[in-house]
Structure 1
Amino acid sequence: MLTPRTIQCPYCGERIELLVDASAGDQHYVEDCQVCCRPISVAVWIGADEEVQVSVAGEDEA
């Protein structure tokens, strides 16, 4: 189940859309920004209310 999530790049500030695979459970991975191409650390987890939660950070913040 792919869930679209809009996030803000921690480098360039542009809003980009990520497709998150909620069926994979808690995960942590790196995805390049579609605008500035810098690596974004992405954390995904399912909250208590079954809502998909996404947190992003730059490589110097992770």
Structure 2
Amino acid sequence: MLTVEHHFTCPHCLSQISMILDLSVSPQKYIEDCEVCCRPIEVHFETKGDNITYFSANPLEQ
């Protein structure tokens, strides 16, 4: 399994956060809570080899 820490801005609270992404399976789409404000974020990313070719983090309303 190839993993990488990816930093981005939470779409809810605008804090800089990071997530560990598993690059061995592409594409991936899942929901994870922000580590600062605990609100849900829809994470979607695609990879080619060990490079992230697409990343989005969109807010989900509770």
Shorter chain as normaliser: what TM range?
0.7 to 0.9
- After the TM superposition, which segments of 4 or more aligned residues of structure 1 sit over 2 Å from their partners? none
Q: For residues 5-16 of structure 1, what are the structure 2 equivalents within 5 Å? A: 5-16=6-17
Q: CA deviation at 1:59?
A: 1.3
What's the offset of the Cα at 1:46?
1.4
* Deviation by residue 1:15-51 (Cα, 9 ceiling, x = unmatched): 001100000110100000000000000001015x862
Bigger shift: residues 34-43 or 51-60: 51-60
More strand by share: 2
- What's 1:25 paired with? 26
Between Structure 1 and Structure 2, the one with more helix by share is 1
| Residue identity opposite 2:35 in structure 1 | Q
Q: What TM-score comes out, normalization by structure 2 length? A: 0.84
Q: Does 1:39 align with 2:37?
A: no
Aligned-pair identity in percent equals 32
Distance 1:40 1:55 in 2: 10
TM-score when scaled to structure 1?
0.84
Hey, what's the Cα distance between the residues in 2 that align with 1:31 and 1:37?
9
Task: Name the Cα RMSD after superposition.
Answer: 1.7
